[in-house]
């Protein structure tokens, strides 16, 4: 079974600085997708960024980018120019190409210091 | 317009009661899900329906029964509620058929916060 590990329960960063959240996963499959979801205090799950495993190019969405290291099974999220609104729980998630469910990591709580 | 909507958003009920959470999606997706987030924030899938057919049923007690009247709706009924059922329940949807990357993305509702007392 696939597993997703987020080794940082909590992280903090000064406003306007850059922070990187770590995620590793374990799978024997070659076809899969990876996601980062943000969960603010409102509890809503918001998609931040997604990556197809077969693509070597790292995904970017404005201030959010990933460092996808397929051989190392690592999928970290970099947030540049951190803003107060970025404060939230961040979940890394894995989805097999042949399955219809997400496997989530334990989450990382990100605090932004003004 | 909310893409995936759930009702109620908050629910406080006593042990032993039966309750339902409703979910509707207006994204035209063919697959819907229920996820549970426990007190430690851990998220895990419970059920998945594709075109009204149950395709994923994780190890969930029989007291939980999903119902999908059509592919835009997936309701969750819980019988004989227990303290341990207290959690946030998320409905979600995605488009599975057809090969597009966006179809591999699962979109979540706002969650239904269930407290059993």
Give the confidence band of B98 by pLDDT, cuts at 50, 70, 90: low
Q: ∠ CA A75-A77-A95 to the nearest 5 degrees?
A: 45
User: Over pLDDT 70: what percentage of chain A?
Assistant: 99
pLDDT surpasses 80 at B68: yes
* Element at B41 (helix H, strand E): none
Indicate yes or no: CB of A104 within 8 angstroms of CB of B33: no
In this structure, the strands spanning B87-94 and B31-37 are antiparallel
CA B29, CA B35: separation in Å to the nearest integer?
17
B8-62 pLDDT, tens per residue? 999 999 999 999 999 999 999 989 999 999 988 899 999 998 888 888 888 789 9
Query: Between A52, A89, A97, which is nearest B41 by CB?
Result: A89
Give the confidence band of A99 by pLDDT, cuts at 50, 70, 90: confident
Closest Cα partner for A83 from A45, A38, A23, A43? A38
The tokens describing B8, both together, are 């109620």
Mean pLDDT, rounded, of chain A: 94
The tokens describing B97, both together, are 């058929």
Least CA distance to B88: which residue of chain A? A43
Closest Cα partner for B74 from B66, B65, B84? B66
Residues of B in contact with A42 (CB under 8 A): 110
Closest Cα partner for B37 from A39, A34, A48, A111? A39
Give the confidence band of B2 by pLDDT, cuts at 50, 70, 90: low
Would you state the pLDDT for residue B52?
A: 82
Would you state the pLDDT for residue A84?
A: 96
Closest Cα partner for A33 from B57, B60, B104? B104
pLDDT surpasses 80 at A1: no
Closest CA–CA distance from residue B109 to any residue of chain A (Å) = 7
B29 half-sphere exposure, CB direction, 13 A CA radius: 30
């Amino acid at each position: 079974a696939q597993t997703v590990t987020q080794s940082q329960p909590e992280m903090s960063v000064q406003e306007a600085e850059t922070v990187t959240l770590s995620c590793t996963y374990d799978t024997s499959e070659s076809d899969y997708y990876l996601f980062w979801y943000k969960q603010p205090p409102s509890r809503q799950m918001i998609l931040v960024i997604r990556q197809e495993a077969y693509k070597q190019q790292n995904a970017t969405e404005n201030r959010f980018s990933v460092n996808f290291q397929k051989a190392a099974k690592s999928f970290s999220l970099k947030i540049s120019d951190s803003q107060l609104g970025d404060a939230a729980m961040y979940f890394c998630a894995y989805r097999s190409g042949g399955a219809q469910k997400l496997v989530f990591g334990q989450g990382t709580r990100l605090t932004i210091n003004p | 317009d909310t893409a995936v909507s759930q009702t109620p958003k908050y629910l406080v009920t006593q042990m032993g009661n039966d309750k339902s959470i409703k979910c509707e999606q207006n994204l035209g997706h063919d697959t819907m899900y229920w996820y549970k987030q426990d007190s430690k924030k851990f998220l895990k899938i419970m059920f998945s329906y594709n075109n009204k057919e149950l395709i994923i049923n994780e190890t969930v007690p029989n007291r939980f029964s999903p119902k999908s009247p059509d592919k835009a709706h997936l309701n969750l009924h819980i019988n004989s509620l227990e303290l341990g059922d207290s959690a946030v329940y998320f409905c979600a949807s995605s488009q599975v058929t057809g090969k597009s990357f966006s179809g591999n993305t699962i979109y979540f509702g706002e969650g239904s916060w269930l407290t059993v007392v």
